[in-house]
Each structure stands twice: as C-alpha cells, then as structure tokens.
C-alpha cells in the first residue's frame, strides 16, 4: 500500500523490519525514478546489495495474495 501511495521511506522501513520484500520496494522505486538518479541514502545502501528480479518479485506478491485469500476463508 505504501508503494502505491509513494511513501517510499515507510515502505522500505516495513520491508526491512519484516525482512521481506526489500527487493520489491527497491524495484518499484527504481521503476518510479526511471532515468533519474537515486538520492535517498537508505535506498542507495540497500540497492547496492540487491539484484532486482521481476519474476521473483511477482512470485512473492502472488504467494502473499494466495496466503491472504486462504486466511480469509
């Protein structure tokens, strides 16, 4: 939700706390910035250690949605 609202710092904070989807936040931030250079130090710190793989990201998102649907039943 924070990604959709462009609350990048909060999205990264939650991902780091939960130790999951850090790559997702980094990937969507890079897509949002396009050709512009990253200026946020926290994003620079995490992005140098993370390889963006959209297939992996999409699979994680699908798995989370599936888990949420199962929990709602």
pLDDT tens for 11-60 read: 999 999 999 999 999 999 999 999 999 999 999 999 998 999 999 999 99
Strands (E), 4-71: none
| Alpha-carbon span 68 to 61, nearest angstrom | 11
> Residue 67 above 90 pLDDT?
yes
Evaluate whether residue 45 is within a structural domain: yes
Evaluate whether residue 46 is within a structural domain: yes
Residue span of the structural domain in which 58 resides: 8-72
* Domain tally, the chain: 1
Place 73 in a pLDDT band, splitting at 50, 70 and 90.
confident
Residue 61, CA distances (Å) to 29, 36, 39 in order: 16, 26, 27
> Residue 63 above 90 pLDDT?
yes
Evaluate whether residue 3 is within a structural domain: no
Evaluate whether residue 1 is within a structural domain: no
CA 54 to chain centre: 11
Cα–Cα nearest to 41, from 14, 10, 9, 18: 9
Q: What is the pLDDT of residue 26?
A: 96
């Amino acid at each position: 939700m924070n990604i959709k609202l462009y609350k990048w710092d909060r999205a990264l904070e939650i991902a780091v706390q939960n130790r999951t989807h850090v790559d997702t936040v980094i990937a969507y931030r890079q897509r949002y910035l396009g050709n512009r250079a990253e200026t946020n130090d926290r994003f620079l710190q995490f992005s140098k250690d993370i390889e963006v793989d959209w297939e992996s990201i999409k699979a994680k998102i699908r798995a989370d949605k599936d888990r949420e649907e199962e929990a709602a039943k």
